[in-house]
Amino acid sequence: MDFRFTDEQKMTAEAVEGLLADLCQASDLRRLMESGDARDEKRWTALVEMGLQGALVAEEEGGLGLKPADFVLVAEACGRAGLPEPLVDNAGVAIPLLADIVRATGAGADLLEQALAGEITVAAAHPVNAFIADADTAGAIIAIWNDELFVVTPDAVELVRQQSSDPFRRLFTLAARPSSAVVSLPLSEAQAYLDAALDRGALFSAAQLAGIAQRAVDLGVAYSKERMQFGKPIGSYQAVKHLLATAQVKIEFVRPVIYAAAAATPDRNVFSRSRISHAKIMASEAADLACRTSVQVHGAMGYSWEVDVHFFLKRALALASWWGDARFHRARVATRVFGHPLGADQTFPKG
Amino acid sequence: MDLTYSAEENAFRMEVRAWLEANVPSAPLPSFDASREGFEAHREWERKLSEGNWGMVTWPKEYGGRALDLIQWLIFEEEYWRAGAPLRVNQNGIFLLGPTLMEFGTPEQKARFLTAMASGEEIWAQAWSEPQAGSDLAAVRSTARREGDEYVLNGHKIWSSRAVFADWAFGLFRSDPGSERHKGLSLIFFPLNAPGVRVQAIPQIDGETGFAEIFLEDVRVPAFNRLGDEGQGWHICMATAGFERGLMLRSPARFQMAAKRLVELYRKHEAECDPAIRDAVLQAHMDAEAYALSIYSTASRLIAGGKIGAEASTNKIFWSEMDIAMHRTALAILGARAELVRAAPAAGEDARWLEGYFFSLAGPIYAGSNEIQKNIIAERMLGLPRG
Ligand SMILES: Cc1cc2nc3c(=O)[nH]c(=O)nc-3n(C[C@H](O)[C@H](O)[C@H](O)COP(=O)(O)OP(=O)(O)OC[C@H]3O[C@@H](n4cnc5c(N)ncnc54)[C@H](O)[C@@H]3O)c2cc1C
C-alpha cells in the first residue's frame, strides 16, 4: 500500500502544468475567445509535441502504454488552467476508444496512426453524452446513429452546432446518419469499449473538475487578500474565510477519491465503476461550490464578464453532466452499496 | 388569525386577473437590458399598467395608485406573476425610491417625481455603489458641492442596474467635504443625460449588459433634487434598503411561479429523475411557500402599524438561496442540456433555466451581500457582540 504518485507521474503532470502556465493564462483564454478560433495553434502544437495523445494506448499499438493513474494529474492540470483544447477527451478517452475499435475490427488503423502522430484529433460520441465535443476540428469522428456506431472522416457527417454557455466548448449533434464510414458496427458489439470509454471520461472529467475547483478557490483567495472594504482586506473577515475554507474542505475530500478511482479504473468491475462515479459526483459538487463561492467572494466583480471566474463556473457546469450526470453516477454507486459487501475492510475490494 | 381572503380581496383578484388577461402581451418582450428597443417596449408596458392604475397599487391615488394595502399588493403580485407579465423595468424607481420618496420627500418633490415614475415616463437607476464602496457603502467618495441653488456632482458610480437606458438616477454623494463615513452624505437625483454624465455599460457574467458605470464631471442639478435634509443621506438609504431587502424587491409570487415551473419540468422528465432530484423539487415548493407565508405575516404586521426591522435581512438571505437552489435543481433535471444557451437548437425554451441560474448567482451579492446580512441578523436580531 502506497498512496502516492510516482516521480514519473508527477513529472508528466508538472511538464503539462509548466506548459500551461506559459501558454494558458486567462489572457490567452480571452484572446482565443475574441479570435473565435477553435484552438490556439501555438498552444495546441506545444501540447501535441509532448506526445501525450498516445498516453493510454498500448505500446504494441503505437502508444505509450500508460495507465489512467498516469494521466489523472494531467487532466487535473488542464481543468485548473481552463484549457480550451481537447487534450483530455482526445488523449484520455477518444483515441484509446478508437484503438479498441481498430483492434476489434481491423479497420481504421491509418486514422489511429494519424491520431497517435498528433496529425488529427478524434472526437467521440457516446450514449451517455448528448453531444459530440470538438467534432468540427477532428480528423476522425466516432459517431452514433440509432443503434449503430461508426468511425468516419469529417466529410461523412453533417454537424449541427449546439452552443454551450462555456465559450470554449464546441458541441455538436449529427443532422443525419453518416453518409459513409471507415468502420460501422452494431452498438451492442462496441459496448465493452464504450463502457471503458465512459469510465475514463467520467474519471478525467472528475479530475478536471477538481482542478477547476482549486482554481476557483485560488482566484477567490487572491482577490480577498487584495480587495479592501471597511479598511481591511475582505479575506480578514471570518465570513469570507469560512466560505473559502468550506470549498477547500470539499476539494480535499474529493482528490483522494479521484486518485483511488484512477488506480482502480483498469479493474473494470462494480467497485471501480462505483469509485469513479463517487469521484465524478463529488468533484462536480466541489467545483460547483467552489465556483459559486468564488463569484460570491468577488462581489459584483464576480458577476461581471471582466473577472475570469465565470470561465471556470461555466466549465464546471458543463463537466458536471459530461460523461454522466449526478443521477447516472448515483445509480452506479447504488449498485455497489446495495449489492455488495460493505464495512471497514472493504475500502479496496477486489472484484 | 384568519387565513381566508375577504370577499373584497377575492373580487380584487378577479379584477386584476381579468385586466391582465386582456392586456399582458402575448409574446414575451425583448430583454430590457440588451437593447434600447427592449427597454422602450418595457416602458410602453409600464405606461399601459399606469393607464389602468395598476402601476403601484399601494400608492396614493393622486400619484396613480389605488391606495390599497399590502395584502392586496401581494394578491396583485400573485396575479401578475401568474399571468407571466413583463419584468418591471422601473423596479428601482417604483419599489425602492418610490416608497422612500413617499416617506422623506416634500409635497413638491412627490408631485414632480412620483407620477412620472408610476407612468414609466421616467425610469430610474440606483447609483450608490462605487468601486471602493460596495459592502462598505459609507466609503462613498463621489461629491456634491453646494453652489447657490445647485449641487455640482463629481465622482464615479458603478454596478448601476439599467442605467444604460434609464432616464434618472438617485445617487449617494458626500455633500460635506470634510465628513467621513455615514455623516455628511446626501441622496441626490440626477438625469442620466445631464451634461457631464457618462454612462458605460459593463458586460455581465453571461456577456450581456445589465449594469453600468456612471462617471460624473461637474454635473449641475438643482438643490430641489436632494431628498431629505443635507447630511441625511445615510439614514434615507438604510430606509430604502429596508424596502429593497424586506418586501418589495422580490415578491413571493416570483418564486412560487418558478417552483411551479420546476415541478412541471420534473414531471416531464420524471422517468429520468431519482429521489435526490425529487426531494430537491419538493424542497423548492416548500421553500417558496414558506417565503410566501412569511411575507403574508410581515404584511399583516405592517398593516397593523409594525415596522420592518432586521428580518428584512433574513428575507434577503432566504429568497436568494432558494432561487439558486431551484435553478440548480432545474439544471440537474436538464442534465446534459443544462449547459446550452438559447441559440442552441437542442435548448429551446429550457435555456431560460440557465439564464435564471446565472442571474440567481447575483442574488446573494446585490441589495447588500448575504455575509453582511448575516452580520446584521447576528448583531441586531440576536444581539451578538459586534466583530
Ligand atoms: C446584478 C447586480 C446588480 C447591482 N445593481 C446595483 C445598482 O443598481 N445600484 C448600485 O448602487 N449597486 C448595485 N449593485 C452593487 C451591489 O450593491 C454591490 O455588489 C454590493 O453592495 C457588494 O459590494 P461589492 O460588489 O463591492 O463587493 P464587496 O463589498 O467587495 O464584497 C466582496 C465579498 O466580501 C464580503 N464582505 C465584504 N465586507 C465584509 C464584511 N465586513 N464581513 C463579511 N464579509 C464581507 C462580501 O459579502 C462579498 O462576499 C449590483 C450588484 C449586482 C451583482
Predicted confidence (pLDDT) per residue in B198-238, tens digit: 999 999 999 999 999 999 999 999 999 999 999 999 999 98
The grid coordinates of residue B18 equal: 381579468
* SS3 at position B230: coil
Which residues from A are below 8 Å from B339, CB to CB? 164-166, 169, 314, 317-318, 321
CB contact (8 A) between residue B344 and residue A321: no
| Contact flag B364-A296 (C-beta cutoff 8 Å) | yes
Q: Residue A298: inside a domain, yes or no? A: yes
Closest CA to A220 of A287, A286, A290: A290
Number of compact structural domains in chain A: 1
Contacts of B158 in chain A (CB under 8 A): 300
pLDDT at B387: 78
- According to the model, what pLDDT value does residue B244 have? 64
Residue A260 lies in a domain: yes
Chain B residue with minimum CA distance to A299:
B365
Which residue, among B88, B357, B22, has the nearest Cα to B249 in the 3D structure? B88
- Whether residue A97 is contained in a domain is answered as no
Q: Cα(A17)–Cα(A24) distance, rounded to whole angstroms?
A: 9
Mean pLDDT, residues A285-309 taken together = 98
Chain A residue with CA closest to B343: the answer is A163
- Residue A233: pLDDT band (50, 70, 90) is very high
pLDDT at B246: 66
CA–CA separation, A74 and A207 (whole Å):
8
Q: What are chain B's domains?
A: 7-89 (no CATH), 125-231 (2.40.110.10), 250-381 (1.20.140.10)
- Cα-atom radius of gyration of chain B, to the nearest Å? 21
Question: In sequence order, what E strands does chain A have?
Answer: 122-124, 132-133, 140-145, 148-152, 159-163, 170-174, 183-186, 228-229, 232-233
Give me the mean pLDDT over the B134-138 stretch.
97
Considering only CB atoms, which chain B residues are within 8 Å of A304?
202-205
What is the spatial distance between Cα B116 and Cα B119, in angstroms, rounded to a whole number? Answer: 5
The C-alpha of A17 sits at a distance from chain B's nearest C-alpha, in angstroms, of: 27
A165 lies in a domain?
no
Which grid coordinates belong to A139? 480528423
Tell me, yes or no, whether A272 lies in a domain.
Answer: yes
Alpha helices (runs of H) in A118-254, residue ranges in sequence order: 191-226, 238-252
Instruction: Tell me what percent of the residues of chain A surpass a pLDDT of 70.
Output: 100
DSSP 3-state of B196? coil
CA of B253 relative to ligand 1 center, distance in Å: 25
Write down the pLDDT at residue B310: 82
Query: Cα–Cα distance between A106 and A112 in angstroms, integer?
Result: 11
- Give residue A79's identity as a one-letter amino acid code: G
> What's the whole-number average pLDDT of chain B?
95
Contact B327, B360 (CB under 8 A): yes
Taking the CA atoms of residue A25, residue A28, residue A32 and residue A33 in that order, the dihedral angle to the nearest 10 degrees is 60
- State which ligand 1 atom lies nearest to the alpha carbon of B368: 21
Q: The CATH number of the domain where A224 resides is what?
A: 1.20.140.10
User: What does the pLDDT average to over A217-224?
Assistant: 98
Catalytic residue among B46, B77, B213, B244: B244
Q: Average pLDDT in the A179-195 region?
A: 97
The answer to whether the beta carbons of residues A123 and A133 sit under 8 Å apart is yes
Interface contact flag, A326 B276, Cβ < 8 Å: yes
Give the number of the atom of ligand 1 that is nearest the alpha carbon of residue B135.
29
Residues near A286 by beta carbon (within 8 Å), at least 6 away in sequence: A209, A210, A213, A247, A250, A251, A254
The rounded distance, in Å, linking the Cα atoms of B58 and B117 is 14
Q: Does B369 touch chain A (CB under 8 A)?
A: yes
Contact B135 A229 (CB under 8 A): yes
Mean of the pLDDT values across residues A163-180? 98
**Which B-chain residues 199-238 have CB contacts (< 8 A) with chain A?**
202-207, 211
Q: Do B354 and A161 touch (CB under 8 A)?
A: no
Predicted confidence (pLDDT) per residue in A315-350, tens digit: 999 999 999 999 999 999 999 999 999 999 999 988
Distance from CA of A327 to the nearest CA of B (A): 6
Show the cell assigned to B19: 385586466
Average pLDDT score, chain A: 97
Note whether residue A151 is domain-resident.
Answer: no
Asked if B347 has any chain A CB less than 8 Å from its own CB, the reply is: yes
- Report whether A213 contacts A320 (CB < 8 A): no
The three cell numbers of residue B147 are 453652489
What domain range is A228 assigned to?
191-339
Percentage of the residues of chain A whose pLDDT score is greater than 90: 99
Using 50, 70 and 90 to split pLDDT, how confident is the model at B247? confident
pLDDT at B331: 98
Choose among B16, B340, B309: nearest CA to A166.
B340
A7 C-beta neighbours (distance < 10 Å), count: 9
Does A15 map to a domain?
A: no
Checking if the pLDDT of A145 tops 80, the result is yes
- What is the B238 CA–ligand 1 centroid distance (Å)? 15
Q: A46 near A81, Cβ under 8 Å?
A: no
Question: What pLDDT sits at residue A350?
Answer: 80
pLDDT > 90? residue B306: no
Question: Ligand 1 centre from B215 Cα, in Å?
Answer: 19
Residue B309: predicted pLDDT: 81
Contact B294/A at CB under 8 A = no
Q: How far apart are CA A25 and CA A20, in angstroms?
A: 7
Asked whether residue A132 is assigned to any structural domain, the reply reads no
Provide the pLDDT for residue B245: 65
Residues 228-257 of A with CB under 8 A from B: 228-231, 234, 237-240, 243
* Min distance B365 CA to chain A CA atoms (Å): 6
What would the grid cell of residue B310 be? 432586521
Instruction: Please state the rounded mean pLDDT for residues B307-329.
Output: 93
Beta strands B168-174; B124-127: pairing state: parallel
Calpha distance B384→B287 (Å, rounded): 27
- Pairwise CB contact (< 8 Å): B339 & A314: yes
Residues with CB under 6 A from ligand 1: A 227, 229-230, 234, 237, 239-240, 296-297, 299-300, 303; B 125-129, 134-135, 159-161, 211, 362, 365-366, 369, 371-372, 375
> What does the pLDDT look like over A83-101, one tens digit per residue?
999 999 999 999 999 999 9
Pocket test for ligand 1, best of B32, B135, B157 (most atoms within 8 A of CB): B135
Over residues B295-319, the mean pLDDT reads 90
Contact yes or no for B364 and A300 at CB 8 A: no
What are the tens digits of pLDDT across the range B21-44? 999 999 999 999 999 999 999 999
pLDDT digits 0-9 by tens, A61-85: 999 999 999 999 999 999 999 999 9
**Buried-state track B326-340, b at ≥16 Cβ within 10 A, e below 16:** bbbbbbbbbbbbbbb
Among the partner-chain residues A131, A230, A305, the one whose CB lies closest to the CB of B204 is A305
Residue (of A46, A54, A202, A222) closest to A122 by Cα position: A54
User: Searching chain A, which residue's CA lies closest to the CA of residue B130?
Assistant: A300
- B77: annotated active-site residue: no
- Cα(B347)–Cα(B342) distance, integer angstroms: 6
Angle, CA A249 vertex, CA A335 and CA A225 arms, to 5°:
150
Q: What mean pLDDT comes out for the span B339-363? A: 97
